[in-house]
Chain A
Amino acid sequence: MKDDYLWDKTGQPDPEIQKLEEILGTLRYQPWPLELPVSRRRSYFPLLAIAASLLLALFAAGVWLQVRNQTAPQPREAKAISTPSSVEEKKPEQIIPKIVAPSPEVIAVNHKHRHRSVPTALSTREREEALLAKQQLMMALRLTTEKLSLVHRKPQNTTPANQIKNQHRVG
């Protein structure tokens, strides 16, 4: 029965254990209020703020790039196209030298535009000069073609390997 008292405080009390309980009871836990931290839950506000600012920065960068791509090439094209047309309107006599030695920019931009504007601007004298220049150019081209064909024929006649080849083909 004494064992029961030690185990679960039932049965006949053991005076020695009771005395020990009485003495040691002075050391028993005294309720003490627990101060918990203010918030247990983790605050996600800083993370959200960082994510939002990153998204905003990305969006702004995207908009800026789009605007830049749309606006940047336009002045260049306008410059290239407008240069000859403005010259045509204001000073028609200065066009010929520009056609003879055009700037690389003008060639690269628009050939159709140049072909359309040139015949309308030329006078009869200028047209004759142009025809003469054309004939000279054609003559030069013919001469060049002849010379090229001669050069092309020469090695065929001189090399013995080709002869053998030809003989073989004929045979």
Chain B
Amino acid sequence: MYATADMLLMTPEAHAAEQPQEQAVEVVLVRGVLDGDRDCFARLYDLYAPLVHGILLARVPRAEVDDLVQDIFLHAYKKLHTLRDSAAFGPWIAMIARNRAVDFHRRSREMVEINDELRGSEAHDSRAAEILELIRSLPEAYRETLVLRLVEGMTGPEIAARTGLTAASVRVNLHRGMKQLREKLGFMEGL
């Protein structure tokens, strides 16, 4: 939370200067966890839970997201010793989250009807769920970036730093995704 909250108020220059510092924080925290410090993992969880939450929210039903976030962090805690580059914790856990979402859909193929029911109830719950459903209908690259930006409140540089994507890719995904979302929203309002 610490770094996330601070970074939201920063200028782009400050963000650029902060990125290596944040990576250094990651390295220190990962090493601390490997040395048996559980508080370090709690800090990593605070820093990266919104990222994992956003990635999952773009792919799986809302009802499943919170449990999956916990599962992914527990898995990461057990497998942290397999992480070769401590500075790459963000891209590593993002990849775990994407793989877990794929696994979720693979396992629940037989339960398509239940998922559809869940989606249906979600869609009618609120306007937020309705817009989220529109975002989920966008191409994968756009939906993840848009959810992280619009739902989790992360900035473009922050998304790039956490996911390991380049800033240019994130910028393109944001603009193209936003353009497609606007079109869909206009289409819906027209109805």
Contacts and interface: CB of A to CB of B under 8 A. Distances in A.
A119 B188 CA distance: 132
Given A6-B174, A8-B155, A29 B50 contact: yes
Nearest to A26: B128
Nearest to B44: A34
A3 B174 CA distance: 10
B47 to A, nearest CB: 12
Contact of B175 (A6, A10, A24): A6
Interface stretch (B70-78, B86-94, B96-104, B110-118): B70-78
Contacts of A17: 150, 178
A16 B128 contact: no
Given A20-B150, A21-B153, A37 B174 contact: no
Contacts, number: 84
Interface residues of B, number: 45
A28 B49 contact: no
Given A17-B178, A34-B70, A36-B77, A28 B156 contact: no
B183 interface: no
A6 B42 contact: no
B156 A8 contact: yes
B77 A40 contact: yes
Contacts of B70: 32, 34-35
B132 interface: yes
A37 B147 CA distance: 30
Given A16-B182, A32-B70, A36-B41, A21 B150 contact: yes
Interface in A1-47: 3, 6-10, 16-17, 20-21, 23-29, 31-32, 34-37, 40-41
Contacts of B42: 34
A89 B182 CA distance: 125
A32 B153 CA distance: 18
A34 B45 contact: yes
Contacts of A32: 49, 66, 69-70
A29 B49 contact: yes
A27 B153 CA distance: 11
Contacts of B83: none
Contacts of A3: 175
A36 to B, nearest CB: 6
B152 interface: yes
Given A20-B131, A23-B127, A40 B78 contact: yes
B105 interface: no
Contacts of B181: 20
Contacts of B50: 28-29
Contacts of B57: 27
A10 B11 CA distance: 8
A28 B147 CA distance: 9
A25 B15 CA distance: 23
Nearest to B149: A6
Interface of A: 3, 6-10, 16-17, 20-21, 23-29, 31-32, 34-37, 40-41
In the A-B complex, the 7 residue pairs with the closest CB atoms: A29-B53, A7-B156, A8-B155, A29-B50, A24-B151, A24-B150, A26-B128
